[in-house]
Amino acid sequence: MIIGNFKKTGNSFAGTIETLMFTVQAILEPISNKPTSKAPDFKLVSGIREIGAAWKKKSQETGKDYLSVIIEDPTISISCAAFPTESGGYVFIWNRERQ
């Protein structure tokens, strides 16, 4: 299920995340000085609040690059993947966890 669309704006990406519980405008900003190799590559910001983070990943199945994204709020935590679009942006896709 697509929950977000982001377009390139300078060195960041701006867009909207929309679920049944909330709709939020956000910016995906690169982190230039990562303190460790496991630190996120991007932070997800809405207004003055940091609402999540993203890590660069490569699919073991296809070899294609994507972002592993965590969106956090005191009431909910969402894990999703962000895949590059042909226009240079990202589409955020959420999949239900298989049990």
pLDDT in tens, 19-32: 988 999 999 999 99
What confidence score (pLDDT) does residue 70 get?
Answer: 96
Domain count, the chain: 1
With respect to residue 58, please indicate whether it lies within any of the assigned structural domains. yes
What confidence score (pLDDT) does residue 95 get?
Answer: 85
Q: For residue 84, is it left (φ>0), alpha (ψ between -120 and 50) or beta?
A: beta
| Cα 45 to the center of its chain, rounded Å | 10
What confidence score (pLDDT) does residue 76 get?
Answer: 86
What confidence score (pLDDT) does residue 1 get?
Answer: 94
Bridge partners, 33 (sequence order): none
What confidence score (pLDDT) does residue 97 get?
Answer: 75
What confidence score (pLDDT) does residue 73 get?
Answer: 86
With respect to residue 39, please indicate whether it lies within any of the assigned structural domains. yes
Structural domain boundaries enclosing 53? 2-93
Residues of the chain with pLDDT under 50: none
What confidence score (pLDDT) does residue 99 get?
Answer: 66
Does the global pTM surpass 0.85?
Answer: yes
User: Which token pair is 74?
Assistant: 């005191």
With respect to residue 99, please indicate whether it lies within any of the assigned structural domains. no
With respect to residue 65, please indicate whether it lies within any of the assigned structural domains. yes
With respect to residue 98, please indicate whether it lies within any of the assigned structural domains. no
